[in-house]
């Protein structure tokens, strides 16, 4: 991505955050799989976070380890902000994880290790829906990660 495009994408990301979302900050202390991690907040409390808007392969399925490894490389041990509005039935906070001004959820889709979770598209901003859908389409067309066919 060129510098002007990266700057525009960053501005969109910053402006497109959920309006009513709560924000939690802390450090990513554990990555469970390609779409779930643990965040330790500044008070020392540990939270299970489910990355909103994406669906990575489940443990034991093709590409599940690649998805987990990619999330580790993007977030493990780093300070993160989580923009969230709900808790799922497994008591996980569901939100957008941002590390160094980068939408990690979107990065996992771009890398080809997750699908855009259309079932919950109505919970995303219009801009995020567009970005996530385009990222999945590009990953499919580029045959990267889960779209490449090879394990």
Catalytic residue among 68, 92, 110, 115: 92
- Judge whether 109 and 60 are in contact, CB under 8 Å: no
Burial of 38 (0-12, 13-18, 19+ CB in 10 A): middle
110 among known catalytic residues: no
- Judge whether 120 and 114 are in contact, CB under 8 Å: no
58 among known catalytic residues: yes
Catalytic residue among 45, 46, 58, 143: 58
Catalytic residue among 45, 46, 48, 50: 50
Cα pseudo-dihedral 24, 45, 80, 78, rounded to 10: 170
Q: How many other β-carbons are positioned within 10 Å of the β-carbon of residue 135? A: 22
Q: How far apart are CA 84 and CA 53, in angstroms?
A: 11
- Judge whether 46 and 32 are in contact, CB under 8 Å: no
92 among known catalytic residues: yes
- Active site (catalytic) residues: 50, 58, 92
């Amino acid at each position: 991505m060129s510098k002007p495009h990266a700057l525009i994408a960053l501005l969109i990301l910053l402006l497109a955050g959920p309006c009513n979302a709560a924000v939690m900050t802390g450090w990513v202390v554990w990555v469970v799989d390609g779409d779930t991690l643990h965040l330790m907040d500044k008070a020392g409390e540990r939270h299970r976070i489910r990355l909103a808007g994406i669906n990575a392969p489940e443990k034991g399925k093709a590409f599940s380890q690649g998805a987990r490894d990619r999330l580790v490389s993007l977030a493990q041990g780093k300070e993160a902000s989580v923009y969230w509005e709900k808790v799922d039935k497994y008591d996980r906070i569901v939100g957008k994880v941002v590390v160094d001004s980068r939408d990690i959820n979107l990065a996992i889709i771009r890398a080809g290790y997750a699908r855009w979770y259309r079932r919950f598209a109505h919970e995303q901003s219009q801009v995020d829906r567009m970005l996530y859908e385009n990222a999945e389409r590009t990953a499919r067309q580029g045959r990267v990660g889960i779209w490449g066919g090879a394990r």
